[in-house]
Chains A and B, each alone.
Chain A
Amino acid sequence: MLSKDVIERHGLNEEEYQRINKILGREPNIVELGIFSVMWSEHCSYKSSRIHLKRFPTTGKRVLQGPGENAGAIDIGDGLAAVFKMESHNHPSFIEPYQGAATGVGGILRDIFTMGARPVALLDSLRFGDIKVPHNRYLLSGVVSGIAGYGNCIGIPTVGGEIYFDEIYNKNNLVNVFALGIVKKDNIFRGAAKGIGNPVIYVGSKTGRDGIHGATMASDVFDEGSEAKRPTVQVGDPFTEKLLLEACLEVMGQGLIVGIQDMGAAGLTSSSSEMAGRGGTGIDIHVDRVPAREKGMTPYEFMLSESQERMLIVTQAGKEDEVLNIFKKWDLDAVVIGEVTDSKRMRVFDKGVIVADIPVDALTEEAPLYERPISPPPYLDILHDLDIDNLPIPQDLNKVLLTLLSSPTIASKEWVYRQYDHMVRTDTVVLPGSDSAIIRIKGTNKAIAMTTDCNSRYCFSDPYTGGAIAVAEAARNIVCGGGEPAALTDCLNFGNPERPEIMWQFQQAIDGIAAVCKRFNIPVISGNVSFYNETNDISIYPTPVIGMAGIIDDISKRMTQDFKDEGDVIILLGRNMEEIGLSEYLKEIHYKIRGVPPQLDLELEKKVQDLCLYGIREGLIKSAHDTSEGGLAVAIAECCISKGGRENIGAKIDMDDDMRSDILLFGETQSRIVITVEQDRIADIEMQARDMDVPCRVIGRVGGESLIIRHNSSVLINTPVPELEEVWRRAIPKYIGEEGS
């Protein structure tokens, strides 16, 4: 008989425990309790989110695999598929930043190569607290080293991502890792245990006692004692993962795989039960055959360990020796530990004695499903109230621009991406620091553009619009790289779902994301939900990060954001509006987090993107950059200073908009792209804009050594470009205390 205390410590409530009793027709033993606790955890079961996630559009002409597998897949032509997914490793990365982030990279890469795809790119979407707080810098350094340590070693380039800093993440940093792989579209593998009597093979690292209850830890809020949970964080071994990657791709190439799944959260338990669930079969596992790192491990520990770099493979009966030989070549453990059965039950044996016997469906399809109560948070009215008439316009707007360029969220992230090998595999054709990262696909004329985006401050004030903007901005970034948005993956980071206002945020964000996906025909093909990102009752801002991939059919038509040549004409697509709520300007200069996010006109957004893509494909456009945090002035400054090693270049801008000058410069109105064209192509782009009904006007010219911005004939900004670059490039090293580097 299990005590109340034991049940509670497994994160199961009374109702759930009674349900287990009913399913089994008896009380569970401790092994079974452990299995239920991880499979029914929020992390594995999506019990609070599943009913909402159904509202995402998940189909489309390119979709080969939607949500539900290890990763999603889309058809990119030439007989190839792109497989991608994003996943969070927030909780472990707060407790132990290096290993937490490293194993986040390892986990998402296994999801990709499990599908048969060779991973070719990584991106990271990170959120940290105030960079002035030493502990946050420790977390930043640790997370960046962890990503570098794992990604560099395994040889997959980290080509992009984003980093935001905000006090709200002081006690809950976010680490979301996106990975993309390429596979022949007829060779995609899936995680189903099929074929009664087929052997189940364990491959990879030995199992240790690390990470037990990691999934349960990730399904709980933090308090003061959270750092004592360090032993629940796994330790990564990128070298073993590299061998595992090569060995798995070799086994797949030989046609020896029936089904395959990585052992991520909830290790052997989730991989075996989910594979049986997808196959509509049962599975027998003998834990005494599992390679162990130490003696005396119990069945409970074997089933719940989250040791890294392990996979479960189902092969055809009679083929097991061929599989084992390939893993032997790579010096990896590989052992037959069980078989596929027709029992529809997961049975666990220890030295022939049955130690757990559970219907597979009870762990997967029939796991609890909650329609949690929803209500809007009480703070919205106060938050939305922003009186701009009482907001003074700063005297020195040059100083404002420099302050924004040096704010850590906007500043150059070179200090970070210099630590990542972003060139290995020799496919990176647009290096980190542009709107989207671009890699070529060898053997074709194609390239893939990728980005991650989310402004969580917008989501805090209006999660519907914030979610919608995240998708729109991601698509805009892809388009600015010359790509056609193809599909997205999401990483939905929220607070405690048991609180109605958090579920309201969640519901609103999903609806906002879904609306843009539908209008833009961009399906959601994979994703991940991370709840319980809160500490001592303070929740993070809702942070639904969007990871998007787009296709560039002709690699020579890829685009970057930097201004190219003296004399080029600067054109603004889209229109300026008097919107300033929740902007970086408001926060950094006026210390206010107030207002509503910029509005998103889906029809305008679509038209602006279509025109930009047309102009790039027709060879009219020489640079394209979307305006986001920091508004138009920051966007134009970035075009001047992000030339990546080449000479910087100035610009002269002249605008006559009837609005406040600070809002014109720093407002974050959506659906705007700054492009440049050659003088004699102005008419071409203007004519096309008229045909497509897109606001389009010349605002200035590239050239000189300063950035000069005039508004209604008065000069607002006049700063030498090297000065802009200096503060932008030096800001993060300065905070870290590595100015010399």
Chain B
Amino acid sequence: MNFAIIVFPGSNCDHDCYHIIEHVLGRPATFVWHKEKDLSGYDVVILPGGFSYGDYLRTGSIARFSPIMKAVEDFAHKGGLVLGICNGFQILLEAGLLPGAMLRNRSLKFICNDVRLRVDNINTPFTVNYFENQVVRMPIAHAEGNYYADKDTLMRIQKNNQIVFRYAGDDGNISDKVNPNGSVNNIAGICNEKGNVLGMMPHPERCGEDVLGGTDGYILFESLVYYVEKIER
């Protein structure tokens, strides 16, 4: 199976995604420059973290006009798997591939540390290898991760089971105390209605090896391999 990693000007987790896919997961990954227009031949497209266009104006708001985004939209509409991590999630929101919007963290500060997440939906290609309600540990690193959606949208995504990851305590309890950025309903990651597009603020590519102190993120990539190589085919 083939992974594409989109490189926007200012992407900076592109190499980290490449590393975990090529060297840890052992699957081929290709960097795709944002000025390109073709995504045929790929099974998964990753929009990596970083500061595309310096996050100037608003996170993701300029990158969503990059030439490659038309191809990403087509790819997603045909059911292709799209994963947006951190800045990639912000770009997917700006592009309208996922509902809602991103606000600044309520502390108004950049936050980098490990958080606990509860996996609320294991019926997506990204999460099939997690257990139901499994509590996992992943790092976050962002200044704008305060996810917001209006009431109707929130109701809809809840009803459709689109909330995939929520910030949680060690015991899996969801409370404001364990919410690092103020996101509505402790949301850390959501998918689209069909479940083939996932956006998440935490960085699974940063916790895929023992040497980095945790491997909970590896399970997400492993899920994708399982889904594409075992279920889809």
Binding site for B on A (CB under 8 A): 145, 148, 152-155, 237-240, 242-243, 330-331, 417-426, 428-429, 431, 440, 442, 555, 645, 738, 741
A242 to B12, CA, bound (A): 9
Binding site for A on B (CB under 8 A): 9-10, 12-13, 15-16, 19-20, 23, 49-51, 53-56, 107, 109-114, 139, 141, 143, 203, 205-206, 208-209, 211-213
The answer to whether residues A238 and B141 also contact, given A155-B13, A424-B12, A426-B16 and a CB cut-off of 8 A, is: no
* B114 in contact with A424 (CB, 8 Å): no
A239 to B59, CA, bound (A): 13
Partner of B20, one of A418, A426, A645, A738: A426
Partner of B141, one of A237, A243, A423, A440: A423
* A426 in contact with B19 (CB, 8 Å): yes
The chain B residue sitting closest to A155, CB to CB, is B12
* A419 in contact with B16 (CB, 8 Å): no
A420 to B16, CA, bound (A): 17
> Could you show 27 A-B contacts with beta carbons less than 8 Å apart?
A152-B51, A152-B110, A152-B141, A153-B12, A153-B54, A154-B51, A155-B12, A155-B13, A239-B10, A239-B51, A239-B55, A240-B54, A242-B10, A242-B12, A242-B51, A242-B54, A418-B112, A419-B109, A419-B111, A419-B112, A420-B110, A420-B112, A423-B139, A424-B206, A426-B206, A426-B208, A440-B211
Chain A residues whose C-beta falls within 8 Å of the C-beta of B49 in the assembled complex: 424
Chain B residues whose C-beta falls within 8 Å of the C-beta of A431 in the assembled complex: 213
The answer to whether residues A331 and B50 also contact, given A420-B112, A424-B16 and a CB cut-off of 8 A, is: no
Instruction: Give min CB distance, B18 to chain A, whole Å.
Output: 10
A406 to B16, CA, bound (A): 37
The answer to whether residues A155 and B112 also contact, given A423-B203, A426-B205 and a CB cut-off of 8 A, is: no
Give the secondary structure class of A's interface.
Answer: loop
The 5 closest A-B pairs by CB, nearest first: A155-B12, A239-B54, A153-B51, A421-B141, A426-B16
The answer to whether residues A237 and B110 also contact, given A424-B12, A425-B16, A426-B16 and a CB cut-off of 8 A, is: no
Among B19, B54, B203, max chain A CB count under 10 A is at: B54
A331 to B62, CA, bound (A): 14
Chain B residues whose C-beta falls within 8 Å of the C-beta of A155 in the assembled complex: 12-13, 50-51
A297 to B205, CA, bound (A): 47
Known: A419-B112, A645-B114. 19 other contacts (CB 8 A): A152-B110, A152-B143, A153-B12, A154-B51, A155-B13, A155-B51, A237-B54, A239-B53, A242-B12, A243-B10, A330-B9, A417-B112, A421-B141, A422-B112, A423-B139, A424-B49, A442-B19, A555-B211, A738-B107
Instruction: Give min CB distance, B181 to chain A, whole Å.
Output: 11
Partner of B51, one of A238, A417, A419, A440: A238
A417 to B211, CA, bound (A): 21
Among A155, A422, A423, max chain B CB count under 10 A is at: A423
A421 to B112, CA, bound (A): 5
A379 to B15, CA, bound (A): 55
Chain B residues whose C-beta falls within 8 Å of the C-beta of A440 in the assembled complex: 211
* B10 in contact with A424 (CB, 8 Å): no
Chain B residues whose C-beta falls within 8 Å of the C-beta of A425 in the assembled complex: 15-16
* B206 in contact with A423 (CB, 8 Å): yes
A155 to B8, CA, bound (A): 13
Instruction: Give min CB distance, B177 to chain A, whole Å.
Output: 10
Instruction: Give min CB distance, B121 to chain A, whole Å.
Output: 26
Partner of A153, one of B10, B16, B211: B10
Instruction: Give min CB distance, B19 to chain A, whole Å.
Output: 6
A431 to B114, CA, bound (A): 11
Chain A residues whose C-beta falls within 8 Å of the C-beta of B111 in the assembled complex: 418-419
Chain A residues whose C-beta falls within 8 Å of the C-beta of B51 in the assembled complex: 152-155, 238-239, 242
* A426 in contact with B10 (CB, 8 Å): no
A442 to B49, CA, bound (A): 20
Instruction: Give min CB distance, B50 to chain A, whole Å.
Output: 6
Instruction: Give min CB distance, A108 to chain B, whole Å.
Output: 18
* B9 in contact with A331 (CB, 8 Å): yes
Chain A residues whose C-beta falls within 8 Å of the C-beta of B206 in the assembled complex: 423-424, 426
Instruction: Give min CB distance, B163 to chain A, whole Å.
Output: 25
* B9 in contact with A243 (CB, 8 Å): yes
